[in-house]
Amino acid sequence: MVALVACETLLLVLLTLLVVGLLRGHAEILRRLGPPEGPEEAEIPPRGSVLPEPDRRAGARAGRDVVGTTLERDAVQIGLGDGAPPTLLAFLSSGCTVCEGFWRDLRDRNRPPGVLADLRFIAITKDPSRESPTRLRELAPTDLPVVMSSTAWSDYGVPAAPYFVYVEAGRVHGEGSASNWKQIMSLLRDAIDDRAHAGRGEQRASEIDQVLATNGIGPGHPSLYPAERPAGPDRP
């Protein structure tokens, strides 16, 4: 009887050690794998692609002011409302392979002339907890405003770097991913042309309203609506 109890005790100890070993091995595997990647680590679009957001119409949403810190850790707020100059927001990272080309071109002043030269250009990275100000000072040219603001990435729904947003008169008029300046220029030209076309339509509508008002015709005037015609034998 004593021998049986001793054998059972020994088996129980061995089983406990086996379970502890399995748990430790499982924990080590999880530690090496690390936490799963979050949605903000989205895959960078293939080189040569421009991906406009399908659920965002140009000019359909307001452009929020960019609030964050400079590379010297000073607080900064950049206004994008009415009266602000047309602005291209460049969401870049210090660890993005495609972004390295943009940083290099900006340092070497290989920025395309024409449309882009007339815009305010602002680079936006994530907060210092996610980016290194020292590394960014090495990448960014001295004449380029750089704002560290994870909030701006959230406000503008940036899926991954590099990403570009064109803001004019407090509204977003174009956005998308790009891997080179040619794609950015195409995005800008389309956004500016769309903006100008919409402006001409609004101006034309205003001119028509002024002509009607000069002639005493305003909203609800009978001449703006067809008179009801009496029903005849050939009319229902």
What would the pLDDT profile of 85-109 be if each residue is shown by its tens digit? 999 999 999 999 999 999 999 888 8
pLDDT value of position 57: 45
To the question of domain 66-196 being in CATH 3.40.30.10, the answer is: yes
Asked if residue 66 lies in contact with residue 149, where contact means CB atoms within 8 angstroms, the answer is yes
pLDDT for 128 beyond 90: yes
Q: What percent of the chain has pLDDT over 70?
A: 55
Q: Hey, where are the domains in the chain?
A: 66-196
| Gap between the Cα atoms of 150 and 33, Å rounded | 26
Asked if residue 167 lies in contact with residue 63, where contact means CB atoms within 8 angstroms, the answer is yes
| Gap between the Cα atoms of 105 and 179, Å rounded | 12
**Structural tokens at position 6:** 């001793």
pLDDT value of position 159: 94
| Gap between the Cα atoms of 175 and 182, Å rounded | 14
DSSP state of 81: S
pLDDT confidence bin for 15, thresholds 50/70/90: low
Supply the mean pLDDT for the chain: 74
| Gap between the Cα atoms of 207 and 32, Å rounded | 68
Beta-carbon contacts of residue 184 (< 8 Å; ≥ 6 apart): 88, 112, 116, 164, 178
Residue-wise pLDDT for 175-230, tens only, equals 999 998 888 888 888 878 877 666 554 555 555 556 556 655 666 656 555 555 55
**Structural tokens at position 35:** 């936490």
Residue-wise pLDDT for 22-42, tens only, equals 555 544 544 444 444 433 433
User: What's CA 11's distance to the chain center, in Å?
Assistant: 61
